Amino acid sequence: MRSTPNKRTTCNIVKSVLSTCFYCSLIIFPFFAVNLSAYLYHCADSSHDLSCQNKPIWCCDFPPSIYGHVQKRVWGLGLFSYYQLRKTPNFVIAAPTAILCSYSVYVYLRARSHEINSIGFIDEKTPTRKTQIVPYLYTKNVFCYAAHCVFLMIFSLLFMHVEVMTRLIFSSSPFLYWAVASILHDDFRASDGRITLSFQTWNEISLQSKFCLTYFAMYFIIGTAAHSNFLPWT
């Protein structure tokens, strides 16, 4: 007896949920394993002493986490803990990446609003709104990468040493690479593939391309000198 489309759809959804849970467990398992190992080594003893008098202070936290303890006590991290006036230069370093991420996600959301509204369950061959910017981000199933990029940016701004955001996002997400490639490709295609390093070409390319090229060139030049002199540039 042939299965009905509804049964096939339900089966696919169940398989998708189970596979997603399995892959997520593979990601978070090492984190829990490290914390459990640290707890057994530093906190557990044969006397079953429930007090924290002779144990590290994080042993009595709920839940006990050596990673969270190191983040807070050693690195001084936490919600808005990095927001200090003397840290302003580090926010300037991270600003271009935050701007590029925000702009790319904004353009993608405009182009794929139907996919966002339906959480990916409704597929349309063409986006509901068209724009000439970043055309290759119209592709289906990019939402997870956009959401991941936004999460990394927000988490970096709120909880981390903010200057590390550039390294974190560019090493963890392909979304910005796709966005930059799409932006530059527009100008490359408009000039029939003839892009040279000249003032005439510079005046012809879009503002978005100028931003990307200037940022990457300055990041390479200034970043190489700053990082090699142990300045907070990552």
The residue range of the domain holding 214 is: 78-234
Q: Which of 76, 96, 130 is the last residue of a domain?
A: 76
Tell me, yes or no, whether 196 and 173 share the same domain.
yes
Tell me, yes or no, whether 82 and 52 share the same domain.
no
Cα angle 213, 216, 218 (rounded to 5 degrees) comes to 105
Whether pLDDT at 23 is above 70: yes
How confident is the model over 80-105, as a mean pLDDT? 88
Q: Which of 49, 76, 103 is the last residue of a domain?
A: 76
Cα angle 215, 173, 152 (rounded to 5 degrees) comes to 85
pTM of the model: 0.68
The structural domain count of the chain equals 2
Tell me, yes or no, whether 201 and 151 share the same domain.
yes
- The 10 Å Cβ neighbour count of residue 105 is 21
Nearest to residue 184, comparing CAs of 223, 127, 221, 136? 136
pLDDT in tens, 125-182: 544 444 444 455 666 677 888 888 999 999 999 988 888 888 889 988 888 888 888 8
Tell me, yes or no, whether 62 and 101 share the same domain.
no
Whether pLDDT at 120 is above 60: no
Tell me, yes or no, whether 49 and 88 share the same domain.
no
Task: State yes or no: cis peptide before 63, omega within 30 of 0.
Answer: yes
**Lowest-pLDDT choice from 68-77, 80-89, 183-192:** 183-192
Instruction: Give the Cα separation of 48 and 224 in Å (integer).
Output: 53
Instruction: Give the Cα separation of 164 and 147 in Å (integer).
Output: 19
